[in-house]
Amino acid sequence: MGIQFAAKFGYDVVAIGRGEDKQALALKLGARRYIDSGRQDVAAELKKEGGAAVILVTAPDPKAIGALVDGLGVAARLVIVGASASRSESRRSS
């Protein structure tokens, strides 16, 4: 639903998932682009586009969340909707 809401409100949506099988649905729901986190460096791909203004995390994988931080742009937001009790490790350097 996050993709649909963001697209309907006019945001430029880049969906991130693991596996090519999710790409078609993400694009159908309104994402402009899909990044396969199993095959691509998500942070690097987001940085190529200037960094994300907002990343909405719905998968509670601490490693995945930590890897997303470097994809944020300046004054951006990381919104975590679901999380696990495990710690996330960010690679972000100040």
Question: Could you say which residues of the chain have pLDDT below 50?
Answer: 94
Rounded CA-CA distance 2/75 in Å is 21
pLDDT at residue number 87 = 63
How far CA 81 is from CA of 2, 50, 56, in Å, comes to: 10, 24, 7
pLDDT at residue number 82 = 73
pLDDT at residue number 89 = 60
Question: What CATH homologous superfamily does 2-80 map to?
Answer: NAD(P)-binding Rossmann-like Domain (3.40.50.720)
pLDDT at residue number 86 = 67
Nearest residue to 40 via CA among 16, 58, 70? 16
Total number of residues shown for the chain: 94
Chain centroid offset of residue 9 CA:
17
